[in-house]
Amino acid sequence: MNPDQARRKKAGGSGRYDRQVLLPDIGSDGQRKLADATVLIVGCGALGCGVADQLARAGVGTLRIVDRDVVEISNLQRQTLYSQADADRAAPKAMAAAARLGEINPDIRVEPVTDDFRASNAESLAAGVDLLVDGLDNFDTRYLLNDLAVKHGLPYVYAGAVGTGGLVMPILPKGGGQGQAVSWDAPTPCLRCIFPEPPPAGASPTCDTAGVLGPTIAIVTGHQAAAALSLLVGRVADLDRSMHSIDPWAGEDRRMRPGTPRQACPCCGQRRFEWLDGERGGAAESLCGRDTTQILPAAPGPVDLDALAARLNPHGEVRHDQHVLQVDLTEDRVRVTVFADGRALIGVGDPARARTLYDRWVGA
Ligand SMILES: [Zn+2]
């Protein structure tokens, strides 16, 4: 391809983006900005799949996708990039997503990373990116992503979904957006302005204990992708900055004004990056000589073991008193022991797998 053809292709000259270029807020200028953009998608479960699919089709030039898990049969109900074949061979999600996205749009670049997103690799994984997308299922990693966004002044599209409801909010951190691909004058609150501390371990429902409705994911990721595209083409002033709460099952759709950044916020107010600096955030360590990993939660207990037992009962055989709960999980065929302070022992030797199981069944 000669340079002219390359430029035409970047600007959508192949016809692929015709209907999108027609939109007055995008046009060929916006299409060029999308082609030049790099987006980091952290987590490629239900949310990550939905956003990655839409950004790939829209022609975002580079998608870097980080996920530590493999595809399982119970993912297919809502994780739209994966197939039965991916589940049958337990394909790593990042790799399976990259393969599928390559079929959808071979003109873009997809960089799959099969790893745990953590303090020690977060900054290198975010090198050169213009925008961060939240495809996560746990608060610990979200605070890490929020630290990264605030420290480096990167826009971050937060989202979460469990049960039939979901939340979406774009975060434009204070002091960010200068001299970068996406720029803004008026900042929004960061995640810690709104939720100063993570919920205590075991306090919140997870997709695995409460379920999740596929259509909710479609709506939440639609709003997430719209925010990402709006920011990447430079449509910042008219961006919907609300904290958007959606429940299509209950027919609820609410927008809350997020207000302005909190002066006392430890992250964007005082610029203390506790998760990124590794001071906080859960730890996973294999126990020597045993096929067991210990998980230390980011926000130590107390855990309501009665409530946790009630949530886990449908999923395995649960025994508990006020100090400790033990469950033999049917589907994952693993024993999980949770102490009242949130510490847990997971019956697998691989720390990444153990963390997945903890987030899935105990939740942070
Ligand atoms: Zn803040």
List the chain domain ranges.
37-256, 283-361
Reply yes or no on whether 207 is catalytic: yes
SS3 202: coil
Closest CA to 232 of 61, 6, 16: 61
Q: Is the pTM of this model over 0.75?
A: yes
- Distance of alpha carbon 59 from alpha carbon 66, whole angstroms: 19
Distance 42 CA to ligand 1 centre (A): 20
For 272, how many CA atoms within 13 A lie in the half-sphere containing its CB? 11
Specify the CATH class of 283-361 in words: alpha beta
Distance 155 CA to ligand 1 centre (A): 13
Instruction: Please tell me the CATH code under which domain 37-256 is placed.
Output: 3.40.50.720
Q: Give the type of residue at 183.
A: S
For the chain, which ranges sit under pLDDT 50? Answer: 12
Q: What is the pLDDT of residue 195?
A: 93
For 215, how many CA atoms within 13 A lie in the half-sphere containing its CB? 7
Distance 174 CA to ligand 1 centre (A): 8
For 327, how many CA atoms within 13 A lie in the half-sphere containing its CB? 25
Question: For residue 296, with 0-12 CB atoms within 10 Å meaning exposed, 13-18 middle and 19 or more buried, which class applies?
Answer: middle
**Under 8 Å between Cβ of 201 and 363:** yes
The token pair at 171 is 């975060």
Distance 196 CA to ligand 1 centre (A): 8
Distance 194 CA to ligand 1 centre (A): 7
Distance 254 CA to ligand 1 centre (A): 22
Partners of 244 in the beta sheet? Answer: 168, 255
The CA-CA-CA angle for residues 133, 72, 248, to 5°, reads 55
Taking CA atoms, 302 is separated from 141, 187, 305, in Å, by 21, 35, 9
Residue 259 φ/ψ region, left for φ over 0, alpha for ψ in the -120 to 50 degree band, beta for the rest: left
Lookup result for tokens 């209907």: 19
Distance 277 CA to ligand 1 centre (A): 16
SS3 49: helix
Catalytic residue among 44, 49, 190, 207: 207
Q: What is the pLDDT of residue 137?
A: 85
- Distance of alpha carbon 350 from alpha carbon 358, whole angstroms: 12
